[in-house]
């Protein structure tokens, strides 16, 4: 096999083949052999086979955000195209089986890192959807053995707030700054895991912690925090979890995980300024 590598993320394993250069974000997660459930395999190929495709789903074109287009094939597979930005050319084409367990990737431009990372993120989210797992858009700090997740739209200040924890809350450590993984274990405990995907901040740690709290952030001219009820918590998760509604079985899995998480995890809404007082308020409220 050509450059076969095995990786472990959130206590799941996956393999890659045909990647001819080292991707530093993957290295902390590399293992010698699969010692846990294997979710999927990804092989980079020079050319995908021809298929007859029907458009299934396309993400909305948003300035500054990637575009993903999903097609179904006559044989029941999925073909996925990824673009770094709506106006940019397709960087990678992915051909995936119906179970999201076997995938081929054709690199279309020189943006190999983008195409490979997005293929892996897509495959991880879809193959783990029915396994009590969520891929999140969040910045996470660990403190005193627990993980504290901060959610919000891009530009809200997630990274700013976690940086305030790092600067002013002793014992804080950044786990991931953009795409951590949540998994509810067989013991019913929800844990947050580092991943090979961390946005603009290179923070790739093969670590995990039980979730202490999840906090929705919004900018305000003051600092205040309140506890959310399970319905509000569920709505908060809906806006931050990687989920594609066209896939009913997968969507059911994601929603089941979100319901369990909303019912069993402390959720808060923090209205805040980008200052130390906001970090001290959130820490003193949610740290227990």
Indicate the range of 38-47, 62-71, 252-261 predicted with least confidence: 62-71
pTM score of the predicted model: 0.94
What's the whole-number mean pLDDT along residues 18-40? 91
- pLDDT tens-place string over residues 108-120: 988 899 999 999 9
Indicate the range of 16-30, 52-66, 70-84, 195-209 predicted with least confidence: 52-66
Task: Provide the CA 13 distance to its chain's centre, in angstroms.
Answer: 15
Q: For 214, phi and psi rounded to 5 degrees?
A: -120, 130
pLDDT for the residue 186: 92
DSSP-assigned states of every residue in the chain = --S-EEEEETTEEEEEE---S--TTTGGGEESS--S-EEEEEEEES-PPP--EEEEEE----TTS-EEEEEEETTS-EEEEEESSTTSPP-EEEEE-TTS-EEEEEE-SS-HHHHHHHHHHHHHHHHTTTTTEEEB--EEEEETTEEEEEE-STTSSHHHHHHHHHHHSTT-EEEESS--EEEE-TTS-EEEE--S--TTS------EEEEEEEEEEEE-SS-EEEEPPHHHHHHHHHTTB---TT-HHHHHHHHHHHHHHHHHS-EEEEEE-SSHHHHHHHHHHH--
Positive/negative CA dihedral, 53, 56, 60, 64: negative
What's the whole-number mean pLDDT along residues 164-172? 97
pLDDT for the residue 280: 97
Which of residues 182 and 64 earns the better pLDDT score?
182
Domains in the chain, ordered, with CATH?
Answer: 5-128 (no CATH), 134-286 (3.40.50)
User: 250 vs 99, 238, 256, CA distance in Å?
Assistant: 10, 14, 10
Portion of the chain with pLDDT greater than 90, in percent: 83
Portion of the chain with pLDDT greater than 70, in percent: 99
pLDDT for the residue 48: 96
What's the whole-number mean pLDDT along residues 56-63? 85
């Amino acid at each position: 096999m050509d450059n076969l590598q095995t990786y472990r993320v959130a206590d799941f394993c996956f393999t890659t083949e045909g990647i001819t250069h080292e991707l530093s974000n993957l290295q902390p997660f590399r293992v010698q052999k699969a010692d846990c459930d294997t979710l999927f395999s990804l092989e980079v190929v020079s050319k995908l086979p021809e298929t007859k495709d029907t458009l299934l789903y396309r993400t909305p074109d948003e300035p500054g955000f990637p575009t993903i287009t999903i097609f179904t094939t006559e044989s029941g597979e999925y073909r996925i195209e990824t673009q770094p930005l709506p106006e940019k050319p397709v960087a990678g084409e992915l051909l995936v089986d119906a179970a999201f367990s076997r995938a081929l990737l054709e690199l279309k431009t020189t943006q190999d890192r983008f195409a490979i990372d997005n293929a892996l993120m897509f495959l991880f989210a879809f193959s783990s959807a029915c396994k009590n797992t969520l891929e999140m858009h969040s910045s996470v700090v660990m403190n005193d053995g627990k993980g504290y997740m901060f959610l919000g739209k891009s530009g809200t200040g997630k990274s700013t707030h976690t940086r305030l924890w790092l600067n002013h809350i002793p014992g804080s450590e950044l786990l991931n700054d953009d795409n951590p993984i949540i998994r509810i274990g067989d013991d019913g405990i929800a844990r947050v895991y580092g991943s090979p995907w961390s946005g603009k901040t290179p923070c790739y740690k093969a670590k995990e912690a039980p979730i202490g709290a999840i906090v929705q952030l919004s900018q305000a001219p003051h600092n205040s925090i309140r506890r959310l009820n399970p319905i509000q918590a569920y709505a908060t998760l809906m806006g931050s979890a990687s989920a594609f509604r066209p896939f009913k079985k997968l969507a059911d899995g994601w929603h089941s995980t979100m319901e369990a998480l909303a019912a069993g995890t402390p959720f808060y809404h923090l209205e805040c300024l980008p200052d130390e007082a906001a970090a001290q308020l959130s820490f003193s409220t949610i740290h227990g």
